[in-house]
Amino acid sequence: MKKDINNLLLIVVVCAVTVLNQTVFAVNSFNRDNGVYFLGTSTTDCVETDSSSTPSQTKSDNENEKIIAEYLASLEFDGAKNKHLNIVQLAALLGNIGAESTFDPSSNNNDKNFGLAQWSSDRWVNIADPRININNQLDYMKKELNGAYKDKVQEFWDASKTDDLEKATYSIARNYEVAYNPGKKDSSKVWTNSEDAVANIQIWQKRINYAKTANNQYGDVAQASLTTGSKCGGELVSGGMNLSQAESFMEVYKKLPNWSAKEVGPYGLNWTSCTESPLANCVAFSQYFINRYADKKLTNPHAGKDIVGQLIDLTYKDGGHTPKVYAVFSQAATAKNEDGHTGVILGMDVDKGTLVIGEAACYQGMKAIKARPSTISEMSGDNTTYAYTNLTPDSSDLSANNNSSGK
């Protein structure tokens, strides 16, 4: 990772809400570098799949499966509650694709059924050239599920819990793949948990086995699609972010699904006092950061001014008044804001003395969720305190952990 001090910025996440251009980062699994956890294998911009060069039969089944999972997660489906597939829906599709073609886009069954979904010849010809291309086939699957087959797989769209996995897999098999055994006792198009229903579907056990494996394997991929609108998600950059990366990070947060006062939101969020959106509250943002990335969860947050104290009670390290990368801050109450303020440091330029603050603020509208520059001196006063998370680099010389790969 390059160490260009001139590009280092301190990024703080505060109480306010904004719309930002998104260049988000890949989500695969947790890794650790320089004392900082981050998601994925890339610490720069998200690398989108190039449909002109998508691997087909040149990849192993497992490599194709991952490509297919990520691309399906990036697509928007009209029937899905949040436009993107949840993990149960993604797993149900993967279960059927695995059973039909073992994830091989060149699969050919006696010149009668073709590709990932073993489309019949009259459907296969409608796929864009080159038909063997994985993305072209999945784009066509999206087109069908948004079109002629949308209303036929309602049980699939309704599925959201692990208990719904068999129902969702059945719905796709029976009503989209049209994979049933004629003459069986039960030829219903609606899922019933019975041996007759299972027997009605061709190679049912293979479909559900693939689906169960995918359900356990691709939760991070599905979650990335729900929170970002693409297969990329909010990544922590080792050593801290620059402004462009911080803007992308805030955009990921802003696209979380909303929740009501009667529910606990995504990542255990339960701070719902803002009229425009629960996400607009600074406390919700700090709780999101802690609960998604750090090692001890914040389950009952108080006002912004109290968050650092709560985290210290959870045995996070007391940082006093000194900002560090990936530390959470609290600011004292003021005449205008009796609840104070809270946020997270996302990056830092020690030599320049600059910070970038990502923030959310009630009553200022969704555009107040943003990242913006500030200075270390402004964020080091007596009214600002810090709790260092397990993500905070140990070194006090934060310039040694510089990340300059952003724009």
- pLDDT band with cut points at 50, 70 and 90 for residue 247: confident
Closest CA to 354 of 22, 5, 44: 5
Question: Which of 301, 327, 245, 206 is closest to 23 using CA atoms?
Answer: 245
Residue 10 is predicted with a pLDDT of 39
User: What's the CATH number for 61-224?
Assistant: 1.10.530
Map 201-216 to HEC letters.
ECCHHHHHHHHHHHHH
Residue 357 near residue 246, CB atoms below 8 Å: no
Q: What value does the mean pLDDT of the chain take? A: 77
More confident residue, 226 or 42: 226
Structure tokens belonging to residue 120: 């019949």
Burial of 275 (0-12, 13-18, 19+ CB in 10 A): exposed
For residue 139, the model assigns a pLDDT of: 93
pLDDT for 249 beyond 80:
yes
Residue 392 CB contacts under 8 Å (≥ 6 apart), including other chains: 35, 36, 317, 319, 324, 325, 326, 327
- Mean pLDDT, residues 47-73: 59
The residue with greater pLDDT, 245 or 234, is 245
Q: Tell me: the pLDDT tens digits for 150-182?
A: 999 999 999 988 889 999 999 999 999 999 887
Q: Is 61-224 the same fold as 5-22+250-401? A: no
The pLDDT of residue 191 is 87
Lowest mean pLDDT among 2-16, 202-216, 349-363: 2-16
Give the number of other CB atoms < 10 A from CB of residue 48: 13
Residue that has been written with the tokens 């303020």 in this structure: 341
184 versus 142: the higher-pLDDT residue is: 142
Indicate if the pLDDT at residue 43 is higher than 70: no
d(CA 365, CA 146): 32
- What pLDDT, on a 0 to 100 scale, did the predictor assign at position 25? 28
| pLDDT tens profile 385-407 | 999 988 887 654 443 333 333 33
Compute the average pLDDT of residues 251-268: 77
The per-residue pLDDT for 234 is 57
Eight-state DSSP code of residue 44:
S
The reported pLDDT for the residue numbered 349 is 87
- The pLDDT score that the predictor gives to residue 14 is 36
Is residue 311's pLDDT more than 90?
yes
Q: How far is CA 103 from CA 63, 75, 175, 215, in A?
A: 9, 18, 20, 16
For the chain, the first-to-last Cα distance in angstroms comes to 15
Distance CA 196, CA 70 (A): 34
pLDDT of residue 378: 94
**Tell me: domain 5-22+250-401, CATH 1.10.10, correct?**
no
* Rounded distance between C-alpha atoms, residue 30 and residue 37, angstroms: 7
Residue 233 pLDDT > 50: no
306: amino acid identity, one letter: D
More confident residue, 404 or 124: 124
pLDDT in tens, 65-120: 988 998 898 888 999 987 889 889 999 999 999 999 999 999 999 999 999 999 99
Query: Minimal CA–CA distance to 141: which of 81, 208, 71?
Result: 71
Average pLDDT, integer, range 236-246: 81
Across residues 141-156, what is the average pLDDT? 96
pLDDT band at 245 (very low <50, low <70, confident <90, very high): confident
Give the C-alpha separation, 237 to 40, whole Å: 10
H/E element, 169: helix 165-175
Instruction: With beta carbons less than 8 A apart as the criterion, state whether 321 and 382 touch.
Output: yes
Section 249-267 average pLDDT:
78
Let me know how long the chain is.
407
The confidence score (pLDDT) of residue 394 equals 66
Query: Domain coordinates of the chain in residue numbers?
Result: 5-22+250-401, 61-224
pLDDT recorded at residue 151: 96
Cis (ω within 30 of 0) for the bond into 130? yes
Per-residue pLDDT tens for 182-210?
777 666 888 887 777 778 899 999 999 99
Side chain identity at 249, as an amino acid letter? F
* pLDDT > 90? residue 315: yes
Better-scored residue on pLDDT, 59 or 27: 59
